[in-house]
Amino acid sequence: MITLTNVRKQFGRDIAVKDVSLHVDRGEIYGIIGASGAGKSTVLRLMNLLETPDSGTVEIDGSVLTSLSTRQLREKRHVIGMIFQQFNLVANKTVYDNVVAPLKLAGRPRATHKERVLECLRFVGLESFKDKYPAQLSGGQKQRVAIARALANEPHVLLCDEPTSSLDPNTTAEVLDVLKSINERLGVTIVIVTHEMDVIKQVCDRVTVMADGSVYETMDLVPSGVPVIDNNPSWFVDQLKKAGETDA
């Protein structure tokens, strides 16, 4: 589904990505983990050519992106969704207007917009929030709107850069549940860049560990599953008591 072959990217004198080759299979949830500055985000941005490689090739969903024209690349990007740590919602647009934006960009027929936007918002459980503005939402809700926006054009791939790194553990579980059902119910291939070990262990089928701009190791995993979300205050009390026991 995604193949990077001998990809390299340099910023000034800094080589962010050195000769990286990796392959993501269709339908898997693939993790990329490593220390800050290891080149994780750059590799993810190379997958949809938000960064152009200095050398090497990028193939995604049957197209060699590095040999497409600007116009062909713009078309292809419609089937590659992306979400970010800081959500990147447009602050002065409602939830509805944020999610409809990619449909307009892709030139989808106007008559189909409303139904598609509501369908995507329903998928992430936020249909009733359509007239709210981003500032009126919690972090987890903002990320779910960003996911709905990324789903609008029916992507085959979803690239996620630190999707849960600004969220508390329960909200993280909520967002991971949504990503998992996008993978299972919609068959979307997902790549998650994160520095959070638990995220990788819970949902990823495979992981690449990056160090210093290179692939250090790639391994198969058996995902342990997303923990059950519990917002009951007694859950917090129980966790604190358990933590006390471990320390004792």
Ligand X SMILES: Nc1ncnc2c1ncn2[C@@H]1O[C@H](COP(=O)(O)OP(=O)(O)OP(=O)(O)O)[C@@H](O)[C@H]1O
Q: How many helices (H) and strands (E) does the chain have?
A: 8, 10
Q: How far is the CB of 14 from ligand X (least distance, A)?
A: 5
Bridge partners (DSSP) of residue 192 are 31, 160
Q: How far is the CB of 142 from ligand X (least distance, A)?
A: 19
Q: How far is the CB of 163 from ligand X (least distance, A)?
A: 13
How are strands ordered across the β-sheet holding 55-60? Answer: 14-24, 2-11, 55-60, 63-64
- The residue within the footprint of ligand X, chosen from 38, 46, 83, 215 (CB under 6 A), is 38
Identify the three-state secondary structure at position 136.
helix
Query: Cβ closer to ligand X: 33 or 126?
Result: 33
DSSP secondary structure code for residue 194 in this structure: -
Within 181-200, which residues bind Mg ion (CB under 5 A)? none
Q: How far is the CB of 193 from ligand X (least distance, A)?
A: 6
Quick one: CA dihedral 12, 17, 21, 23, positive or negative?
Answer: negative
Candidates 8-16, 40-48, 117-125, 174-182; binding stretch for Mg ion (CB under 5 A): 40-48
Side-chain half-sphere exposure of 226, counting CA atoms within 13 A: 18
Q: Please, where are the H alpha helices in the chain?
A: 40-47, 70-77, 95-105, 110-123, 139-151, 169-186, 197-203, 233-247
Chosen from ligand X, Mg ion, none, partner binding at 245 (C-beta under 5 to 8 Å by type): none
Number of residues that bind Mg ion (CB under 5 A): 1
According to the binding rule CB under 5 A, does residue 41 interact with Mg ion?
yes
Question: Read out DSSP for 99-129?
Answer: HHHHHHHTT--HHHHHHHHHHHHHHTT-GGG
Binding track over 179-208 against ligand X, x by CB under 6 A: ----------------x-------------
Candidates 35-43, 97-105, 179-187, 200-208; binding stretch for ligand X (CB under 6 A): 35-43
Bridge partners (DSSP) of residue 131 are none
Query: Cβ closer to ligand X: 4 or 137?
Result: 4
Q: How far is the CB of 166 from Mg ion (least distance, A)?
A: 13
Contact 152, 98 (CB under 8 A): no
Q: How far is the CB of 153 from Mg ion (least distance, A)?
A: 25
Q: Greatest CA separation found in the chain?
A: 63
- The residue within the footprint of ligand X, chosen from 20, 30, 39, 203 (CB under 6 A), is 39
Within 40-59, which residues bind ligand X (CB under 6 A)? 40-42
Query: Cβ closer to ligand X: 36 or 70?
Result: 36
Query: Cβ closer to ligand X: 2 or 95?
Result: 2
DSSP secondary structure code for residue 62 in this structure: T
Q: Which residues bind ligand X (CB under 6 A)?
A: 11, 14, 16, 34, 36-42, 195
